[in-house]
């Protein structure tokens, strides 16, 4: 089974199973990771904002215009920020590392 790592707000790292076809948001919820996802993945909020480790950004599909618009609403936006609901696990992403942004 593919794996991914969440770097939590306190800096702790949690490696979890990441089933193919699930979004980072769904994977976080399965493992009790503190990633909100208020709109339940319908691309209507930015509460599933994650910061992708720079080593992985080139392996992700490009953000859509809708995702970029929602990211504009996210707190603590960084160059590699993405919405967790829009990153779907594939074989290529086995080992993916994302960080939860600090809340303000």
Per-residue confidence (pLDDT) for residue 104, from 0 to 100: 54
At residue 103, does pLDDT exceed 80?
no
CATH tag for 3-99 (out of 3.40.50.11260, 3.30.70.3270, 3.40.640.10, 3.10.20.30): 3.10.20.30
Q: Tell me: the pLDDT tens digits for 4-42?
A: 999 999 999 999 999 999 999 999 999 999 999 999 999
Q: Are 83 and 77 in contact (CB under 8 A)?
A: no
User: Given strand 13-17, what is the order of strands in its sheet?
Assistant: 13-17, 3-7, 96-99, 49-52, 81-83
Per-residue confidence (pLDDT) for residue 102, from 0 to 100: 82
Q: Are 49 and 6 in contact (CB under 8 A)?
A: no
- Where do the domains of the chain lie? 3-99
Strand partners, 49: 83
The mean pLDDT value for 33-56 works out to 95
Q: Collapsing DSSP states into helix, strand and coil, what is residue 42?
A: coil
Per-residue confidence (pLDDT) for residue 83, from 0 to 100: 98
Average pLDDT, the chain: 95
Please choose, from the candidates 93, 21, 85, 15, the residue with its C-alpha nearest in 3D space to the C-alpha of residue 59: 93
Please choose, from the candidates 49, 59, 43, 45, the residue with its C-alpha nearest in 3D space to the C-alpha of residue 82: 49
Per-residue confidence (pLDDT) for residue 13, from 0 to 100: 97
């Amino acid at each position: 089974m593919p794996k991914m790592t969440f770097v939590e707000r306190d800096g702790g790292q949690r490696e979890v199973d990441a089933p193919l076809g699930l979004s980072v948001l769904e994977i976080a919820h399965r493992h009790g990771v503190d990633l909100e996802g208020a709109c339940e993945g319908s691309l209507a909020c930015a509460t599933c904002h994650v910061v992708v480790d720079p080593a992985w950004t080139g392996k992700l599909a490009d953000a859509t215009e809708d995702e970029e618009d929602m990211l504009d609403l996210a707190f603590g936006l960084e160059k590699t920020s993405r919405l967790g609901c829009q990153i779907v696990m594939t074989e290529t992403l086995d080992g993916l590392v994302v960080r939860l942004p600090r809340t303000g």
